[in-house]
Amino acid sequence: MLSLLDSVKPFINKFKGIRISTRPDYIDDEILSVLKSYGVTTIELGAQSTDDNVLSANKRGHSKDDIIKACKLIKSYSFNLGLQMMTGLYKADFQSDLKTAVDFIALKPDCVRIYPTITMKDTELAVFYQTGEYVPYTLHESVDLCSKLLLMFEENNIDVIRVGLHYSDTLIDGSISDNYHPAFKELCENKIFLDKIFKNINNIASKDIIVTVNPSSVSKLIGQNKSNINALSDMGYNVTIKKDNNLGKYDIDIKDKR
C-alpha cells in the first residue's frame, strides 16, 4: 500500500485526488490515517452483499457488521464513500439483492458500482454451476433486477458510476454462463424506460402517443437496436419522441398524440 501511495505522491497536485478500493474488514483508524496523509479522497468497499449467509457461502471473509463499521469509520474521516455490490452471487436471490441495495442506501454512500456475477472457468463457483447447485441469473433476469437497483440508487441521489463489467477477452473466453453483455448498463437503462412506459400507458386510450424525455435520454428510450420502439410497435403503438431539458435523466411524460 505504501509503495503504491509513494509512487503517486510526487504528482498529487496534478489531479483532484486518489480513489482506492479495498475490503470492508481492512479498514481501521491506522489505515485511514495513512490514507488521509497521502491525499486519498475516495474509498470504495467491495461489500458485494449485506446478507451474511451469502457472504459466508461465497467465502468473502467479512460480515454485514464489518461493512457498517467500515462505512461509519470512513465517513468519520471525511472520505468519499463508494460501495460495490455483486448481484446473483451463490445463495443470493432477488430479495437478498434488493435488501442489499436498501442497506446500501441507508449507509449513504457517495457512489456505488453494480457488478452482476459472471461464472468463470476453473473456479469453485463453476463446479457448483456445472452440478446444478448454483443457477445464475439469466441475462434477462439480471437486467430486470439491476434496472430496479439503478433506479433505486438514482432516486436516492447516489451516483451509480458503473453497472456491469468492462469488456475483456479474458472475460469472454473464461466465462461459462451465458449472462454477460458488454453494454449491460445500456440494457438496464432501456428497461427503466420501457417499464415506465408500460406503467403509464394504460391511462391513454389512443395508440398514437407522444413520449417526452430529456435529450440525453433519447437513445435509452429508443432502446438498443430500437428494442423499446419495436416492443411498443408490436403492441400497436405509434410513438413520437419529443425532448425537454427540464426532465430528469430517467423522467418521462406520455401524452395522447391526438
The CA-atom distances, in angstroms, between 79 and each of 11, 19, 62, 83 are 20, 10, 21, 13
Q: What is d(CA 5, CA 228) in angstroms, rounded to the nearest whole number? A: 47
Contacts of 247 (CB under 8 A, 6+ apart): 212, 213, 214, 217, 253
Q: What is d(CA 70, CA 234) in angstroms, rounded to the nearest whole number? A: 50
Instruction: Determine, yes or no, domain membership for 120.
Output: yes
Instruction: Determine, yes or no, domain membership for 187.
Output: no
Burial of 156 (0-12, 13-18, 19+ CB in 10 A): middle
The total number of residues shown for the chain amounts to: 258
In the chain, the number of structural domains is 2
**Domain containing 243: what range?**
193-256
Q: pLDDT tens digits for 194-208?
A: 999 999 888 888 899
Residue 220 confidence (pLDDT): 96
Grid cell locating 58:
461465497
Residue 145 confidence (pLDDT): 98
Residues 145 and 204 in one domain: no
Rg (CA), the chain: 21
Question: Last residue of a domain, which of 161, 182, 203?
Answer: 182
pTM to 2 decimal places: 0.93
Task: Please give the chain's pLDDT, 258 residues, in tens.
Answer: 999 999 998 998 888 889 999 999 999 999 999 999 999 999 999 999 999 999 999 999 999 999 999 999 999 999 999 999 999 999 999 999 999 999 999 999 999 999 999 999 999 999 999 999 999 999 999 999 999 999 999 999 999 999 999 888 888 899 998 889 999 999 999 999 999 999 988 888 889 999 999 999 999 999 999 999 999 999 999 999 999 999 999 999 999 887
Residues 219 and 158 in one domain: no
Residues 120 and 242 in one domain: no
Give which of 152, 120, 160 is closest to 136, Cα–Cα.
120
Residue whose entry in the numeric block shows the C-alpha cell 457472504 = 55
Contacts of 22 (CB under 8 A, 6+ apart): 43, 44, 45, 46
Residues 176 and 212 in one domain: no
Residues 74 and 136 in one domain: yes
Backbone angles phi, psi at 85, to 5 degrees: -120, 150
- For residue 174, how many C-alpha atoms fall within 13 Å in the half-sphere facing its CB? 12
Residues 15 and 138 in one domain: yes
Residue 12 confidence (pLDDT): 87
Give which of 140, 134, 139, 147 is closest to 194, Cα–Cα.
147
Residue 112 confidence (pLDDT): 98
Distance of CA 155 to the CA centre of its chain: 13
Residue 121 confidence (pLDDT): 95
Residues 107 and 149 in one domain: yes
Question: Last residue of a domain, which of 182, 207, 239?
Answer: 182
Instruction: Determine, yes or no, domain membership for 100.
Output: yes
Residue 143 confidence (pLDDT): 97
Q: What is d(CA 188, CA 203) in angstroms, rounded to the nearest whole number? A: 25
Beta strands in 23-126 (DSSP E): 40-48, 80-87, 111-116
Residues 144 and 25 in one domain: yes
Residue 175 confidence (pLDDT): 92
Residue 179 confidence (pLDDT): 87
Question: Last residue of a domain, which of 162, 182, 202?
Answer: 182
Residue 178 confidence (pLDDT): 83
Residues 177 and 56 in one domain: yes
**What's 66's domain CATH number?**
3.20.20.70
Judge whether 56 and 31 are in contact, CB under 8 Å: no
Distance of CA 145 to the CA centre of its chain: 10
Residues 213 and 176 in one domain: no
- For residue 245, how many C-alpha atoms fall within 13 Å in the half-sphere facing its CB? 0
Instruction: Determine, yes or no, domain membership for 80.
Output: yes
Residues 117 and 84 in one domain: yes
Going by the DSSP 8-state scheme, the letter that residue 173 receives in this structure is H
Residues 34 and 66 in one domain: yes
Going by the DSSP 8-state scheme, the letter that residue 120 receives in this structure is B
Residue 110 confidence (pLDDT): 98
Residue 258 confidence (pLDDT): 73
Instruction: Determine, yes or no, domain membership for 15.
Output: yes
